[in-house]
Amino acid sequence: MRAGIGTALGNILWLTIKELRVLRADPVLLLLVAYTFTAAVYTVATGVKTEVRNAAVAVVDEDRSGLSRAVVAALLPPLFQPPVPLAPAEVAPALDAGRFVFVLQLPPRFESDLLAARPVNLGLDVDATAMAQAGNGAAYIQQIVQSTVAERLGSPPSPIELVIRLRFNPNGLPEWFTSVMQVMNSTLILSIILPGAALLREREHGTLEHLLAMPVTPLQILLAKIGANALVIVTAAILSLLLVVRGLLGVPIAGSVPLFVVGTMLFQVSVAALGVLLATMTSSTGQFGLLALPAFILMMLLSGSMTPLESMPGWLQHAVQVLPTTQFVAFAQSVLFRGAGLDIVAPRLAALAVLGVLFLGGAYLRLRDTLAS
């Protein structure tokens, strides 16, 4: 009994070493792993922004009073570029040409009408092709106008003052969220691609038949392929988290990194098994890519890393709980952002373990039948 277990573990170890050597000999895959967890994380975190940053704004000032000039002067970086003065006839051509996202129009007698307590209508033209920036920027401009008018002309004190506290991201920096989410998305993509590609590479090169001639079982082959690629991907993800996210981008990690490693390993088992399962359904690397692409895109979109789960229909919120990405994103956000301990994330870890067993079992049965045929 013990000799059989020792032999099986030895087979898995040598098969894992073989997989690592094959990966080391493939510079394209190594470059893909390195790029995905370094340059891709940094560029997405710093370059992909939906909030208002450096937005182009123009102002039609038909009042030219002290108050109107104060409103124009309050449109400051980093939210907005220096305001560009426009004539009323230039507004439509400028928006048609895409020169500005916002055009604020201050009417004649703007200050005098406010001093006389007469109603004043301001115009704000918005290029809404950038939807998130348009909505947030319009709200910012409205707040700037209101606060500037209140400061210059005075306003009665409000009986209620709302004090806002931002937890887990006190400065509201999007890099804190997007960088960590990019690490998780990269982990998902490579965890599906690498094991599946490794299996197809064996088939295309004719070395799968050599493995079948050896005293190894389909389960040992499956565990070796998952284990070798998981070792590489988890190591790259942790280095990315420590060196790129925390070191280069300055994002603090609130929770336990070892706890995050445990959750990542459980997540690896399920999605890597899914990659092998998809590979057994195809006959070439091209077919595998076409099948894997919609799989991980759908899993990313429904995981909560891009859109909140609360914005989805109720039935869909319950349905996506069976996806390992949904459980992993909730687990990672709790650990890395909120500093949650094992007592809080234990249900997520249990769900990842169950899903891992199910996906691993499905991949094993499919791989066994494929090898037998």
**Domain chopping of the chain, boundaries:** 2-48+174-372, 57-153
pLDDT in tens, 99-138: 888 899 999 998 888 888 888 888 888 887 766 677 788 8
The per-residue pLDDT for 166 is 64
Angle between helices 257-280 and 175-205 (to 10 degrees): 40
Q: What angle do CA 358, 364, 370 make, to 5 degrees?
A: 140
How far apart are alpha carbons 166 and 308 in whole angstroms?
A: 18
pTM: 0.75
The per-residue pLDDT for 130 is 60
Q: Could you say which residues of the chain have pLDDT below 70?
A: 1-4, 47-51, 130-132, 155-167, 209, 212, 310, 373
> Which residues does 120 contact at the CB level (< 8 Å), separation at least 6?
107, 110, 113, 114
Beta-ladder partners of 59: 85, 104
Which amino acid, one-letter code, is at 72? V
Q: Which CATH superfamily is domain 57-153 in?
A: abc type-2 transporter like domain (3.40.1710.10)
Beta-ladder partners of 60: 105
Q: What angle do CA 118, 121, 124 make, to 5 degrees?
A: 160
The per-residue pLDDT for 289 is 84
The per-residue pLDDT for 138 is 85
